[in-house]
Amino acid sequence: MTAPHNYDHEREHWNAYAESTSVKEQVEDSEPVFRWTQYRDHPQAPGPELLGTPQSVLEIGCGTGRALAYLAERGVKATGIDLSPVMVQQVTERWGPLGVEFVCAEVLDYLASSATTYDAVYSIFGAAWFTAPERLFPLVAGRLNPGGVFAFAQPPAIPGAYGPQGMYKGGFAGPAMYTYRYSYEPGGWASYLSDAGFVDVDVQVLDAPTPGHIGTLIGRACMPS
């Protein structure tokens, strides 16, 4: 099931997020870092090796751009997409000198209209969490080179709550800022990946470093060589 997205509303939401003081500070003061989980130090978490050894990458829903900056410093041609023009302006000023290219676009439109292909496409609490997988995954597959990798990380589903999940942002008083996120069990994500033509599909929930805390769902799949 696909949520009834209003992209003008979502762009307003993400612009408000990008303009917040905490996010501005993350962009302006942070250093490049590549982290799949929501925990600063997770001893069992994988690193960028989950992407293989790509020469080119695309991050969908790139946010602060720190992961792309990390890859660009290591010689990878790095491109990021984000829906918020405010965020794209901020991260271009911060990380553009490293050679990172940022594009302001809606991810489905961009993937459908672009002819560029990549060795890896990834999402870290980004577009793979906020976009219907039955629409997103086939478009990602079309933008990957043979043998290319698609990987994503996001929170696991709350048991019994699957599909699009509407959520208000910024509390329950004031302007009605909301968004939709998608939640499935690992097997559900794996099925969407297989249906889109991916192979070597692996989707698991990595436990949090502290028992009982929220884990991280991490998915990885490849295009046939």
Model confidence over 23-53: pLDDT tens digits? 555 666 678 999 999 999 899 999 999 999 9
What digits encode the pLDDT tens for the residues 98-111? 999 999 999 999 99
pTM of this prediction exceeds 0.85 = yes
Ordered alpha helix ranges (H), the chain: 7-18, 21-29, 66-72, 85-95, 107-113, 127-130, 133-142, 186-195
Q: What is the pLDDT of residue 116?
A: 97
- Using the predicted structure, report yes or no on whether residue 113 has a pLDDT greater than 80: yes
Specify the CATH architecture of the domain 7-28+54-222.
3-Layer(aba) Sandwich (3.40)
- Using the predicted structure, report yes or no on whether residue 112 has a pLDDT greater than 70: yes
Q: Which residues pair with 204 in a beta bridge?
A: 218
Q: What is the pLDDT of residue 27?
A: 64
Q: What is the pLDDT of residue 188?
A: 98
Listed residue (82, 83, 40) closest to 59, CA to CA: 82
Q: Model confidence at 184, in pLDDT bands (50, 70, 90)?
A: very high
What digits encode the pLDDT tens for the residues 205-222? 999 999 999 999 999 999
Measure the CA–CA gap between 55 and 51, rounded to whole angstroms. Answer: 10
Indicate the burial class of 113 (C-beta count within 10 angstroms; 0-12, 13-18, 19 or more). Answer: exposed
